[in-house]
């Protein structure tokens, strides 16, 4: 069907290894989707949902042991261990090819191998890159169809070229003892075996767009980041864009699809979503940093998504969506905890068991259950989201969940200081997750599990980019999660975060003042708009949210030092920034 020798040679080689009964080349057409859906429904791999209430939607359950990304089974296989760095698992490439090769040998016998060409980035963009995933899972093909621009469009982009990321995936027997996600950045190759869970098997996402992508970015002079991208339109119709990185469980998808508060809507402000998870950023001809969302869909966590927390996400999932590991209702629709509708009396839980709720009941939906939905269906999708040039980024936001140390918002003094702020990002565990409160999990730039090379070199790349971008974005840190003495959130969060975003973008335009503090530039309390939330927040509340507690910062710096002590290639500038911070704090 396609004529590209580099591709067919490699497909033949991989078919020789995995020995499928048949090979099917994916074209991305509607007829193909219908056929694959029918086949997967007949085999029980998926179930069709109620096609009147949820047109085009299907349901899938993963194996019970296969519900999340497996960081301990994820490897960066560079020839030299130091190039993978202290924060990645490493395996020598020969060992990984041998070990996984033995598992892949014959793994597709009795199965079909699907050849899935896909494009990360818009079809008309010079920023975009091609991947080909070979998989024995129809579920993977149907997901890739939503998450990427899949099929003919990708082969047309590749033309006769050989520059594509080679991905091989087999479910094998879904045995966690035989599960590995290996990346070979020096070979543009990803091998994933033994899993059927999204983050491990939709190879365009974390594996290509972040791990291989970050490596390519370092080599080619651009940035692959774990960031949402959003635009804020002013009443005059001008749109400013920002990119933001948060560790998981910090409301990233909610921020990406935020609805501005009433006061701002009344004035004519709008928020547009460009991407919810990944940004590929390059220096534009105008000297600014321009970002593209390489993905085509959202792979979002379902629990907690409601008409209150994120109406735009929920509305995106009303058609053409794949639901994984949520609860199934008797009328062929879906439910999850935190959906904002009462728990059903009867449901089938994510394991396929009858569920009737009750106090001691396990969750009906797995906490990491997901929706895979086309980005184009999002009510607030930006008109620019497929712009081949991307969108110009005015601000970069870093954030985490910090009870005390980080204020609501501060701006770094300059790019290098901003890199230090990103490098020291972290989030605190909550009691519910681990039984421990206040343990900081460091997650620089939210890239700890996704950086495809030595993270010290990654910081150096950030510092180098700062020297190369003539007009770089300004860098900020936000924290929606400050707690008061009784453990209650002080800031209302969700759509109200717009008030902070507004100050940030005004700062970028030179329209907002700031006070200089030891940690960065901070808003004057009266610069955070509180119209409409005066019942909850007054100027004293904002003062509290912006306060800096010296003892907490002293502890924070010690904790950062401990984290950095394992880095073999920490740039001197990062250490210098830390010393300057300590000096400014009088420590
Ligand atoms: C995701 C993640 O699924 O970051 O996006 O884990
Ligand atoms: Mn993510």
Listed in order, strand segments (DSSP E) in 196-315 are 223-225, 228-233, 239-245, 270-275, 279-283, 289-292, 297-301
Q: Of 167, 188, 221, which marks where a domain is finished? A: 221
Ligand 1 atom closest to Cα of 205? 5
The protein residue with its alpha carbon nearest to ligand 1, atom 4, reads 248
61 assigned to some structural domain = no
Find the CATH number of the domain harbouring 334: 2.170.8.10
Q: Over 50: is that where the pLDDT of 434 sits?
A: no
- CB-CB contact of 291 with 271 (8 Å): no
CA 579/CA 587 separation, integer angstroms: 9
**Who wins on pLDDT, 251 or 56?**
56
DSSP string computed for 489-555 = BSS--GGGGHHHHHHHHHHHTT-S--EE-SSSEE--GGGS--TT-TTT--HHHHHHHT---HHHHHH
The pLDDT of 220-246, averaged and rounded, is 98
On whether both 438 and 485 belong to a single domain, the answer is yes
The pLDDT of residue 433 is 42
Q: Which listed ligand is nearest to 368 at the C-alpha?
A: 1
Instruction: Calculate the dihedral angle through the C-alpha atoms of 570, 465, 428, 536, rounding to the nearest 10 degrees.
Output: 150
The pLDDT of residue 431 is 54
Cα of 308 from ligand 2 centre, angstroms: 22
CA 538/CA 526 separation, integer angstroms: 9
The protein residue with its alpha carbon nearest to ligand 1, atom 5, reads 277
- Which token pair is 209? 């767009």
Q: How many CB atoms lie within 10 A of CB 192?
A: 26
On whether both 209 and 322 belong to a single domain, the answer is no
CA 218/CA 455 separation, integer angstroms: 11
The protein residue with its alpha carbon nearest to ligand 1, atom 3, reads 199
Q: Of 377, 404, 439, which marks where a domain is finished? A: 377
The protein residue with its alpha carbon nearest to ligand 1, atom 2, reads 248
Place of tokens 């770089």: 472
On whether both 121 and 148 belong to a single domain, the answer is yes
The pLDDT of 323-352, averaged and rounded, is 97
Burial of 342 by CB count in 10 Å (0-12 exposed, 13-18 middle, 19+ buried)? exposed
Percent of the chain clearing pLDDT 90 (strictly above)? 96
Ligand 1 atom closest to Cα of 301? 3
On whether both 304 and 291 belong to a single domain, the answer is no
On whether both 143 and 241 belong to a single domain, the answer is no
Q: For residue 435, what pLDDT band results from cuts at 50, 70 and 90?
A: very low
In a 13 Å sphere around the CA of 137, the CA atoms on its Cβ side amount to 29
330 assigned to some structural domain = yes
56 assigned to some structural domain = no
- First and final C-alpha spacing in the chain: 67
Q: For residue 248, what pLDDT band results from cuts at 50, 70 and 90?
A: confident
- CB-CB contact of 539 with 525 (8 Å): yes
Find the CATH number of the domain harbouring 518: 3.90.228.20
Q: For residue 361, what pLDDT band results from cuts at 50, 70 and 90?
A: confident
Cα of 539 from ligand 1 centre, angstroms: 36
On whether both 86 and 185 belong to a single domain, the answer is yes
| Tens-digit pLDDT profile for residues 524-578 | 999 999 999 999 999 999 999 999 999 999 999 999 999 999 999 999 999 999 9
64 assigned to some structural domain = no
Q: Over 50: is that where the pLDDT of 330 sits?
A: yes
Q: Over 90: is that where the pLDDT of 272 sits?
A: yes
The pLDDT of 257-282, averaged and rounded, is 98
Contacts of 52 (CB under 8 A, 6+ apart): none
On whether both 135 and 106 belong to a single domain, the answer is yes
What's the chain's Rg over C-alpha atoms? Answer: 24
What phi and psi values does residue 397 have, to the nearest 5 degrees? -110, 135
Closest C-alpha to 398, from 428, 376, 418: 418
The binding-site residues of ligand 1, defined as CB within 6 angstroms of any ligand atom, are 69, 199, 248, 277
| Number of domains forming the structure of the chain | 3
The pLDDT of residue 2 is 86
- CB-CB contact of 225 with 447 (8 Å): yes
Q: Which listed ligand is nearest to 69 at the C-alpha?
A: 1
Q: Which domain holds residue 358?
A: 297-377
- CB-CB contact of 359 with 376 (8 Å): no
Q: Of 377, 404, 437, which marks where a domain is finished? A: 377
| Tens-digit pLDDT profile for residues 48-80 | 999 999 999 999 999 999 999 999 999 999 999
Enumerate the β-bridge partners of residue 391. Answer: 291
CA 77/CA 182 separation, integer angstroms: 7
On whether both 423 and 493 belong to a single domain, the answer is yes
- CB-CB contact of 90 with 75 (8 Å): yes
Q: Which listed ligand is nearest to 279 at the C-alpha?
A: 2
Cα of 414 from ligand 1 centre, angstroms: 29
Contacts of 13 (CB under 8 A, 6+ apart): none
Closest C-alpha to 133, from 1, 14, 32, 225: 14
DSSP string computed for 200-219 = HH-TIIIIIIIIIHHHHHHH
On whether both 405 and 283 belong to a single domain, the answer is yes
CA 34/CA 142 separation, integer angstroms: 10
What phi and psi values does residue 135 have, to the nearest 5 degrees? -145, 155
Annotated active-site positions, please? 250
Pocket test for ligand 1, best of 74, 201, 203, 206 (most atoms within 8 A of CB): 206
DSSP string computed for 3-71 = --HHHHHHHHHHHHHH--SEEEE----HHHHHHHHHHHHHHTSSEE--TTTSTT-EEE---TT--S--G
Listed in order, strand segments (DSSP E) in 479-574 are 515-516, 521-522
Cα of 294 from ligand 2 centre, angstroms: 13
Q: Over 70: is that where the pLDDT of 436 sits?
A: no
Give start and end residues of each alpha helix (H) in 425-530: 431-434, 455-468, 498-508
Exposed e or buried b for every residue in 254-268, given b needs 16+ CB within 10 A?
Answer: bbbbbbbbeebeeee
Q: Over 80: is that where the pLDDT of 255 sits?
A: yes
Ligand 1 atom closest to Cα of 450? 4
Q: How many CB atoms lie within 10 A of CB 120?
A: 29
50 assigned to some structural domain = no
Find the CATH number of the domain harbouring 104: 3.40.449.10
The pLDDT of residue 1 is 76
On whether both 105 and 151 belong to a single domain, the answer is yes
The pLDDT of 100-108, averaged and rounded, is 98
- Which token pair is 151? 């099929």
CA 563/CA 426 separation, integer angstroms: 11
- CB-CB contact of 373 with 297 (8 Å): yes
Ligand 1 atom closest to Cα of 199? 3
On whether both 105 and 234 belong to a single domain, the answer is no
CA 275/CA 527 separation, integer angstroms: 28
Cα of 583 from ligand 2 centre, angstroms: 35
54 assigned to some structural domain = no
Cα of 191 from ligand 1 centre, angstroms: 19
203 assigned to some structural domain = yes
| Tens-digit pLDDT profile for residues 371-421 | 999 999 999 999 999 999 999 999 999 999 999 999 999 999 999 999 999
CA 254/CA 495 separation, integer angstroms: 8
The pLDDT of residue 357 is 87
60 assigned to some structural domain = no
Assign 387 to helix, strand or coil. Answer: coil
Ligand 1 atom closest to Cα of 226? 4
Pocket test for ligand 1, best of 210, 244, 277 (most atoms within 8 A of CB): 277
Cα diameter, the chain = 69
On whether both 330 and 466 belong to a single domain, the answer is no
Contacts of 237 (CB under 8 A, 6+ apart): none
CA 194/CA 175 separation, integer angstroms: 6
The pLDDT of residue 429 is 77
């Amino acid at each position: 069907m396609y004529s590209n020798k580099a591709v067919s040679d490699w497909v033949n080689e991989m078919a020789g290894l995995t020995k499928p009964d048949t090979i099917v080349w994916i074209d991305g057409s509607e007829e193909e989707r219908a056929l694959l859906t029918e086949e997967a429904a007949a085999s029980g791999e998926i179930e069709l949902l109620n096609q009147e209430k949820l047109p085009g939607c299907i349901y899938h359950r993963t194996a019970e042991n296969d519900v999340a990304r497996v960081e301990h089974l994820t490897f960066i296989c560079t020839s030299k261990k130091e190039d993978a760095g202290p924060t990645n698992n490493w395996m020598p490439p020969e060992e990984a090819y041998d070990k996984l090769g033995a598992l892949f040998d014959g793994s597709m016998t009795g199965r079909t191998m699907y050849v899935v060409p896909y494009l990360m980035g818009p079809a008309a963009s010079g920023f975009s890159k091609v991947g080909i995933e070979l998989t024995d899972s129809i579920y993977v093909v149907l997901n890739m169809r939503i998450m990427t621009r899949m099929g003919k469009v990708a082969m047309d982009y590749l033309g006769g070229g050989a520059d594509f990321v080679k991905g091989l995936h087999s479910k094998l027997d879904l045995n966690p003892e035989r599960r590995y996600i290996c990346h070979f950045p020096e070979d543009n190759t990803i091998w994933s075996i033994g899993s059927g869970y999204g983050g491990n098997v939709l190879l365009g996402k974390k594996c290509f767009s972040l791990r291989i992508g970050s490596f390519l970015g370092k080599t080619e002079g651009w940035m692959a980041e774990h960031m949402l991208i959003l635009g804020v339109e002013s009443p005059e119709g001008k749109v400013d864009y920002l990119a933001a990185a948060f560790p998981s469980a910090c409301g990233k998808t909610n921020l990406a699809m935020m609805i501005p508060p009433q006061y701002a809507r009344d004035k004519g402000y709008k928020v547009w979503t460009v991407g919810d998870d990944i940004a590929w950023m390059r220096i534009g001809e105008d000297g600014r940093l321009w970002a593209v969302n390489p993905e085509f869909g959202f792979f979002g966590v379902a629990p907690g998504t409601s008409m209150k927390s994120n109406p735009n996400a929920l509305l995106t999932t009303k058609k053409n969506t794949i639901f994984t590991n949520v609860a199934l209702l008797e009328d062929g629709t879906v439910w999850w905890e935190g959906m904002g509708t009462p728990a059903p009396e009867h449901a089938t839980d994510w394991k396929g068991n009858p569920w009737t709720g009750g106090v001691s009941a396990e969750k009906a939906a797995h906490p990491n259950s997901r929706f895979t939905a086309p980005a184009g269906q999002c009510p607030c999708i930006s008109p620019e989201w497929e712009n081949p040039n991307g969108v110009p980024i005015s601000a970069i936001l870093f954030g985490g969940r910090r009870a005390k140390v980080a204020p609501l918002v501060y701006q770094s003094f300059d790019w290098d200081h901003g890199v230090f702020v990103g490098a020291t990002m972290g989030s605190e565990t909550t009691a519910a997750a681990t039984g421990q409160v206040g343990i900081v999990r460091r997650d620089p730039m939210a890239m700890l599990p996704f950086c495809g090379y030595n993270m010290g070199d990654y910081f150096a790349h950030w510092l180098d980019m700062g020297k190369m971008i003539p007009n770089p974005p300004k860098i900020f840190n936000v924290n929606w999660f400050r707690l008061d003495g009784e453990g209650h959130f002080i800031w209302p969060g969700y759509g109200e975060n717009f008030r902070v975003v507004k100050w940030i973008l005004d700062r970028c335009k030179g329209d907002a003042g700031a006070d200089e503090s030891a940690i960065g530039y901070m808003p004057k309390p009266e610069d955070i708009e509180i119209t409409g939330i005066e019942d909850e927040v007054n100027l004293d509340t904002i003062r509290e949210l912006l306060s800096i507690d010296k003892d907490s910062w002293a502890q924070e710096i010690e904790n950062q030092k401990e984290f950095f002590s394992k880095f073999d290639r920490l740039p001197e500038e990062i250490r210098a920034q830390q010393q300057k911070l300590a000096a400014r704090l009088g420590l």
